[in-house]
Amino acid sequence: MESRTIFPSTHVAFALATPARTFLVVDYAIWTLTVLLLLAGLVGSVVPMLPGTTLIFGGVLLHKFLLPASVSTAAVVWIGVFWLLSIAADFACTLLGARLFGGSKWGMTGAGGGAMVGMFFSLPALLLATILGAVAAEKLLGKRTDRDALKSGLGAALGFIVSTFVRAAFALAMVALFAFSAITIARSAVG
């Protein structure tokens, strides 16, 4: 059985499924790094302040650069489009949530600050901190009434929740598209 090596004296080859294709230790390392970045991106899509879809897209780009034949260029382009759409949707959901409920820039800033504090505790703490941050900022800095400040806080929280679901959906679509492309190419290479 022949092994594919760049530097025969420094690489160890492992046969995988068929003698026609062998994987190098480097290939395993690249796939492992890619999977870790995709998993971190999935987690980051629901945890605030972690660049979830950016980690996924970065992992896909790195994988395409290091193992170009293992994923299609079309899949990478579509994953890039999903990444851009996820960023736009994230901003749009947050802004619309706050604006629909009468929030100002102070409410959105307070909601972001509250989310940063709350993310270190739990999901309920995150939601509560987001609401309290928006309410406090609207009340203290925006000089709003209690009712308007509370309304703005609830709008910011609603926008945050919708934004999280949208980010998670885009992240899952990106990972699924990458997996589909990689599996399709691997199947065509084997037989």
pLDDT per residue rounded down to tens, the chain (191 residues): 444 444 344 444 444 444 445 567 788 888 889 999 999 999 988 877 778 999 999 999 999 998 888 889 999 999 999 999 998 888 788 777 777 887 777 877 887 788 778 877 777 887 888 888 888 888 888 788 888 888 887 887 788 788 889 999 999 999 999 999 988 888 887 76
Measured CA to CA, the distance from residue 111 to residue 128 in angstroms comes to 10
Please provide residue 80's backbone torsions phi and psi, each rounded to the nearest 5 degrees.
-65, -40
Sequence-ordered list of residues with C-beta below 8 angstroms from that of 189, at least 6 positions apart, any chain:
21
Question: What residues pair up with 25 in beta bridges, in sequence order?
Answer: none
Measured CA to CA, the distance from residue 121 to residue 124 in angstroms comes to 8
> Which pair of tokens denotes residue 71?
């994923």
Measured CA to CA, the distance from residue 78 to residue 96 in angstroms comes to 26
Domain ranges in the chain? 13-190
* pTM (predicted TM-score): 0.72
- Spatial CA neighbour of 130 closest among 117, 139, 145: 117
Q: With contact defined as beta carbons under 8 Å apart, do 87 and 69 qualify?
A: no
Q: How far is CA 119 from the centre of its chain?
A: 16
Q: With contact defined as beta carbons under 8 Å apart, do 85 and 170 qualify?
A: yes
- Give the residue ranges of DSSP H helices in 101-145: 105-118, 123-140
Q: How far is CA 53 from the centre of its chain?
A: 2
